[in-house]
């Protein structure tokens, strides 16, 4: 059964692109959210195994959201992303409880699938 993923980004076009890329990686995108608030609701309802979370969200800091999501009882794997390659580092992401950081420009490589699934 493919890993279930929730995509969190305020840019609708990016969410769609990310969802298509994840599906092409044999992952199951179960939902999308455009803010911290909608991500919290979607995560509680969908209980995804993994989440791709943008740093810049309209109602809060995606880094704070990533920490909250990684601490959920079912422990989804959280990958932080941003169009700013300097938004955080891999070690900074891990300090937040996420499994890693990938700049949006680097999303096309296999590292994202590995981070989301742990395989």
Mean pLDDT of the chain: 92
Neighbouring residues of 44: CB distance < 8 A, sequence distance ≥ 6: none
For residue 60, pLDDT beyond 80: yes
For residue 1, pLDDT beyond 80: no
pLDDT at site 114: 79
User: Mean pLDDT throughout 109-117?
Assistant: 76
Structural domain spans, the chain: 4-117
27 band by pLDDT with thresholds 50, 70 and 90:
very high
46 band by pLDDT with thresholds 50, 70 and 90:
very high
pLDDT at site 94: 93
User: What does the pLDDT look like over 62-71, one tens digit per residue?
Assistant: 999 999 999 9
Return the C-alpha torsion angle 94, 101, 78, 99, nearest 10: -40
Q: Which CATH architecture has domain 4-117?
A: 3-Layer(aba) Sandwich (3.40)
- Interatomic CA distance for residues 1 and 84, integer angstroms: 33
- Identify the CA nearest to 79 among candidates 44, 25, 118, 29: 118
Query: CA separation (Å) from 16 to 71, 72, 75, 79, 119?
Result: 26, 25, 25, 17, 24
Report whether 31 contacts 7 (CB < 8 A): yes
């Amino acid at each position: 059964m493919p890993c279930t993923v929730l995509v969190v980004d305020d840019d609708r076009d990016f969410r769609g692109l990310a969802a298509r890329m994840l599906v092409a990686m044999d992952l199951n995108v179960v939902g999308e959210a455009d803010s911290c608030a909608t991500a919290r609701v979607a995560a509680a309802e969908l209980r995804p195994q993994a989440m791709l979370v943008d740093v810049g969200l309209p109602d809060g800091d995606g880094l704070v959201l990533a920490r909250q999501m990684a601490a959920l009882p079912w422990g989804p794997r959280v990958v932080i992303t941003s169009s700013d390659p300097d938004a955080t580092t891999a070690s900074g992401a891990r300090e937040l409880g996420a499994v890693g950081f990938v700049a949006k420009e680097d999303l096309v490589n296999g590292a994202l699938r590995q981070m989301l699934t742990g395989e």
